[in-house]
A and B are shown apart, each in its own frame.
Chain A
Amino acid sequence: TVRCSSALTPELKSTLDKVVNSNKVVLFMKGTKDFPQCGFSNTVVQILKSQNVPFETINILENELLRQGLKEYSSWPTFPQLYIEGEFFGGCDITVEAYQNGQLQEVLEKAMCN
């Protein structure tokens, strides 16, 4: 099937603007922080938990429109997608690397102090 129309409607875009700014750390993932349904999502949840920062998770498996719209909103094709202070930080690989080299801690500390 060919889909030409964009999933990211103006309404969805303004909703997403609010959601990513509703918490300092927002993770769009497969499953929830208590029941991750994918290894990549689980990895990012475990990293965030280890940082002792509050974070919100949103299950993209429950909403196909949200899932498609987010790919356009972030210009990022896969999940999980991590937002820090309203800004797209990265997916699983980027979060893992930033965690290992200390950059994630820096960004989170800065976010928590702002």
Chain B
Amino acid sequence: MGVTKEKVESSLEAKLNPSHIEVVDTSGGCGASFVVEIVSEQFEGKRLLERHRMVNAALEEEMKEIHALSIKKAVTPEQWKQQQESNLSNSAA
């Protein structure tokens, strides 16, 4: 049994209480390759390496079966808001 996108999402939700989360299955269905974007208050005051370690730790069980995990974003709600706003102004320009 492979790891599903839903399983990755629920583990991250349970451990990191994200205000926004996006998990994309990039394996073409075999469930072993994911890209993750996650926004959580728990990242506050943490360096990027620590944030990624938190994500890896939350997925400890799943990592045994995941072949590739790309953590595209691990940001705080504040950073997320800023990024959304700058994306909006970029696309408007």
Q: Give per-residue flags for A93-105: 1 if the beta carbon is below 8 A from chain B beta carbons, else 0.
A: 1100110000000
Contact residue among B52, B53, B63 (Cβ-Cβ distance under 8 Å from A93) = B52
Interface size of A by Cβ–Cβ distance < 8 Å?
14
Q: Is the CB of A91 within 8 A of B48?
A: no
Q: Please report which residues of chain A, range 24-68, place their CB below 8 angstroms from some CB of chain B when the two chains form the complex.
A: 40
Q: Is the CB of A89 within 8 A of B68?
A: no
Q: Is the CB of B49 within 8 A of A93?
A: no
Least Cβ–Cβ distance between A19 and chain B, in angstroms: 20
The contact size tier of chain B is: 10 to 19
B68 — which chain A residues lie within 8 A by C-beta? 40, 78
Q: Is the CB of B63 within 8 A of A97?
A: no
Q: Is the CB of A93 within 8 A of B56?
A: no
Contact residue among A40, A75, A97 (Cβ-Cβ distance under 8 Å from B53) = A75
Q: Is the CB of A92 within 8 A of B52?
A: no
Say yes or no for B27: interface residue by CB 8 A criterion: no
A92 — which chain B residues lie within 8 A by C-beta? 70
Q: Is the CB of A94 within 8 A of B70?
A: no
Contact residue among A40, A78, A94 (Cβ-Cβ distance under 8 Å from B49) = A94
Which 4 residue pairs are nearest across A and B when measured between Cβ atoms? A77-B63, A93-B71, A90-B49, A94-B48
Listed in ascending order, the chain A residues whose CB lies under 8 Å from chain B are 40, 75-78, 88-94, 97-98
A-B CB contact pairs (8 Å), 13 listed: A40-B68, A75-B56, A76-B56, A77-B66, A77-B69, A78-B69, A88-B49, A90-B48, A90-B52, A92-B70, A93-B70, A93-B71, A94-B49
